[in-house]
């Protein structure tokens, strides 16, 4: 089958579902990323995210993850919000303002697959949204959807970096879209702005120092004391290295209603948050990505933000 003749159809249908970019690459071993990933893991830069050590071969080759796969279709979905919360409120990463993106995007991807099957025939494949050993930024880069910047995020020259990356790994055989150049140039704003020095060098991150890791992935009862006073009021995730990136001046407000906050919890101050009971948290965050840190985890983060009272 000459799958390339369906590229335009797939991109059109993806756009109708809200994805603002869609790119194609050929599935295979990620030769360039393999030594980088191995070194990153050996140096312990993944902190206590031990799951990153699993499925090393599948992480680097989707053909081992999805039998019979030939291509990776990468898609970008905007989450840049229309409004900013109160400056005094504990900060929540922009991606978590609304409904959990895993649910929203998987529904869109399943719809896309069904439409493709109606048009193309009995295609095979699997959809992924940040929940399997898929190196999404690497595949999006190979698909011509941007470059991986010095802050280790994928950046698109017309959209910035406030978007989700998703994949459809399929048996269809598409030719690869051309990659985009790296336009970071001499800029180092992200490295200079990181309060915990998690960006150890251009294009390198020590995740164990990243505020997003500390507030979400780290499951310890207490956050490491060395980071006290460096969190810059972030309670869940962190957007600093994206907020300071010049390319995000091109970010535009998303049009996805499900990414809008269900209510004004983003404006709650620290004192109000501390009074929230677990049952209220579970009710508020029932459909939110913030549930990932759990009630105790969020309360731990909020306590860590409070200045130490001098005797």
Domain count, the chain: 2
What pLDDT does residue 68 have?
A: 94
Res 88: pLDDT: 86
Query: Rounded to 5 degrees, what are φ and ψ at 125?
Result: 165, 175
Structural domain ending residue among the three candidates 136, 170, 204 = 170
Asked if the structure places residue 12 within a domain, the reply is yes
Dihedral in degrees, nearest 10, Cα atoms 220, 226, 230, 231: 0
In this structure, is residue 147 part of a structural domain? yes
Which of the residues are catalytic? 130
Closest C-alpha to 125, from 196, 202, 181, 69 = 69
Residues 12 and 151 in one domain: yes
Kindly indicate the confidence band of residue 271, based on its pLDDT and cuts at 50, 70 and 90: very high
Give the pLDDT confidence score for residue 309 in this predicted structure. 63
In a domain, 176, yes or no: no
Q: Which of 136-140, 263-267, 287-291 bottoms out in mean pLDDT, i.e. has the lowest?
A: 263-267
Residue range 122-134: mean pLDDT, rounded: 91
The verdict on 128 and 273 lying in the same domain is no
Q: What is the pLDDT of residues 82-91, one digit of tens each?
A: 988 888 899 9
Give tens-digit pLDDT for 224-255: 999 999 999 999 999 999 999 999 999 999 99
- For the beta sheet containing 163-170, the strands, ordered from the edge strand earlier in sequence to the opposite edge, are 21-26, 71-78, 163-170, 125-128
Same domain assignment for residues 99 and 153: yes
Contacts of 302 (CB under 8 A, 6+ apart): 90, 235, 270, 273, 274
Please provide the average confidence, as pLDDT, over all residues in the chain: 95
The whole-number pLDDT of residue 131 equals 79
* Residue that terminates a domain, selected from 103, 135, 170: 170
Residue 307 has pLDDT above 90, yes or no: no
pLDDT band at 265 (very low <50, low <70, confident <90, very high): confident
* Residue 282 falls inside a structural domain: yes
- Residue 3's contacts (CB-CB under 8 Å, 6 or more residues apart) are 71, 120, 172, 173, 174
Indicate the residue among 117, 142, 170 that finishes a domain: 170
- Domain extent, residue 39, equals 3-85+95-170
């Amino acid at each position: 089958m000459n799958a390339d003749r369906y590229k335009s159809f797939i991109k059109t249908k993806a756009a109708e579902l809200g994805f603002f970019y869609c790119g194609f690459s050929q599935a295979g071993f990620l030769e360039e990323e393999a030594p980088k990933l191995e070194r990153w893991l050996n140096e312990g830069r993944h902190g206590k995210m031990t799951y990153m050590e699993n499925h090393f071969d599948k992480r680097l080759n989707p053909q081992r993850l999805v039998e019979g796969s030939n291509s990776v279709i990468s898609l970008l979905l905007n989450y840049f919000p229309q409004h900013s919360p109160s400056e005094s409120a504990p900060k929540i990463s922009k991606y978590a303002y609304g409904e959990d993106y895993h649910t929203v995007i998987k529904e869109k991807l399943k719809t896309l697959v069904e439409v493709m099957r109606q048009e193309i025939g009995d295609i095979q494949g699997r959809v992924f949204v940040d929940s399997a050993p898929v190196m999404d930024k690497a595949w999006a880069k190979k698909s011509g959807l941007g470059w991986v910047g010095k802050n280790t995020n994928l950046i698109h020259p017309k959209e910035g970096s406030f978007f989700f990356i998703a994949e459809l790994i399929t048996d269809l055989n598409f030719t690869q879209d051309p990659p985009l150049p790296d336009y970071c140039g001499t800029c180092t704003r992200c490295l200079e702005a990181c309060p915990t020095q998690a960006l150890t060098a251009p294009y390198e991150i020590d995740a164990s120092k990243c505020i997003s890791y500390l507030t979400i992935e780290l499951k310890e009862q207490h956050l490491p004391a060395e980071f006290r006073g460096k969190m810059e009021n972030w309670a869940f995730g962190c957007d600093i290295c994206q907020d300071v990136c010049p390319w995000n001046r091109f970010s535009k407000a998303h049009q996805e209603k499900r990414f809008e906050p269900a209510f004004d919890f983003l404006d709650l101050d620290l004192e109000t948050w501390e009074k929230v009971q677990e049952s209220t948290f579970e009710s508020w965050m029932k459909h939110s990505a913030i549930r990932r840190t759990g009630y105790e985890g969020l309360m731990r983060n909020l306590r860590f933000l409070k200045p130490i009272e001098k005797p």
